[in-house]
Copies of this chain bind each other. A is one copy, B any other.
Amino acid sequence: MTPADCEGFFATLDELVADDYILLDYYLECSGDPREAVAHFCAEQSTAQWRRVGSDEDLRPRFGARAVELEVLERDRPGFSYGLEPEVTAGVSACRVRIAHPHRNFGPRIPNLLSAVCGEGTFFSPGAPVVKLLDIHFPAAYLAQFPGPKFGVQGLRDRLQAYDRPIFFGVIKPNIGLPPEAFSELGYQGWLGGLDIAKDDEMLADTDWCPLERRAELLGTARRRAEAETGTPKIYLANVTDEVENLIELHDRAVARGANALLVNAMPVGLSAVRMLREHTQVPLVAHFPFIAPFSRMERFGIHSRVFAKLQRLAGFDVVIMPGFGSRMFTSDDEVRANAAACLEPMGELLPSLPVPGGSDNALTLARVHDKLGTVDFGFVPGRGVFGHPHGPRGGAASIRQAWEAIAQGVPLLDYAAEHVELRAAIDAFGTR
């Protein structure tokens, strides 16, 4: 590209109609002149050849992605991060670039959005093998074309009649291998102990040894019994993760039998299929997070997990389960907070989604999650912390509710445990972890 060619891929924000552009923040390592590399980067994700041979047309003003900010963070690096070794023709620079990408290029379609902002153009720009999409910002005009969550945080709270506190989930364990009868008894005990939501594990599918229909029937019955006995609404969260062509039918069969929220493994099923299910659903939709960490774990490569949090809200999830706090989940506190914020912060007219940071939680970790998030608008989702509790799931769920009572009353956990045997047992069982 000539210097004049490059300039066609730069702009200032005030030259552009804000509603026409998605803003994208990237980290980028490139060889040679950063400004030329960024022009190529914009070209590759939009109109790389901007005129026909023999024509003097210029498609860039209308269809070109354009850099609106470029900050060179580091010059003359010894090479690329992560030992990547493409042909290097000049010193390597590390940059942060903000790109305005015209959404008219693809429209309000999730697969086409992904292809444009984190597809071939992003990861195969010449001389720039190390890139991370750090964040994505949608204009109101674009967001208005997506329905987003159908129920949102308030809708979920209303269904549970649960206000001013976290929502208490429990992943029924053993997650794999039990028949529906034994499985539903565990859920029932969890609800009696104080769970709001008893859920299928993300790996539990509609198998012959635990068919979804039978599971939903038994857990629906158990749920209604638990509601009658406790006098509070409960949710059975059934995993309908399956082939796309089965989603609507599984929704209908599960909901008809008593499931009153549905779990979908968002990325394995595909965000677009979730958007389809969202149009149809009668109950809240809950995302689980497989297939995101391989994109997001590297500091300087891939796609930041907050991009997926935003896209899951865009697709219509009412609840987003995500990797939580603590070294066990390989996710920094800042990243967990960024993901929670992506669920809750203003986003056009879309309802907020409930963030649920999870991973090896139990009664001892609740205070940490609450403190780090600084809000009660979150879900707490132990697995073994409830279902591996020495007193069984009823005691396990009770230990979680007791931990919350201690927090809400400002009483030290150990003091509260002196008068609450389930909490005491949780501390003894999980305290060394």
Contacts and interface: CB of A to CB of B under 8 A. Distances in A.
A80 to B, nearest CB: 10
Interface string A325-340: 0011110000000000
A62 B294 contact: no
A402 B58 CA distance: 31
Nearest to A112: B205
Give the most central of A106, A120, A121: most B CB within 10 Å.
A120
Copies per complex of this chain: 2
A345 B245 CA distance: 29
A297 B207 contact: no
A203 B46 CA distance: 8
A243 B301 CA distance: 27
A176 interface: yes
A53 B299 CA distance: 40
Interface in A10-63: 45-54, 59, 62-63
A84 B47 CA distance: 37
A168 interface: no
A301 B297 contact: yes
Contacts of A87: 327
A124 B176 contact: no
Given A49-B175, A268-B114, A303-B294, A330 B109 contact: no
Contacts of A107: 205-208
B244 A272 contact: yes
A203 B106 contact: yes
A8 interface: no
Contact of A291 (B115, B206, B268, B323): B115
A175 B112 contact: no
Interface in A259-313: 265, 268-273, 275-276, 279, 288-291, 293-295, 297-299, 301-303
A431 interface: no
B276 A245 contact: yes
B291 A118 contact: yes
Interface string A379-400: 0000110011111110000000
Contacts of A93: none
B49 A126 contact: no
A243 B111 CA distance: 6
A223 interface: no
A163 interface: no
A112 B276 contact: no
Contacts of A249: none
A289 B241 CA distance: 24
B297 A123 contact: yes
A288 B177 contact: no
Given A87-B327, A129-B297, A329-B124, A174 B59 contact: yes
Interface string A172-199: 0111111000100010000000000000
A203 B121 contact: yes
8 contacts: A48-B383, A82-B299, A109-B243, A111-B241, A111-B268, A112-B268, A243-B275, A298-B298
Given A50-B174, A111-B243, A243-B275, 4 more contacts: A53-B387, A53-B391, A107-B206, A245-B275
Interface of A: 45-54, 59, 62-63, 82-84, 86-87, 104-107, 109-112, 114-116, 118-121, 123-124, 126, 129, 173-178, 182, 186, 202-203, 205-209, 241-245, 265, 268-273, 275-276, 279, 288-291, 293-295, 297-299, 301-303, 323, 327-330, 359, 383-384, 387-393
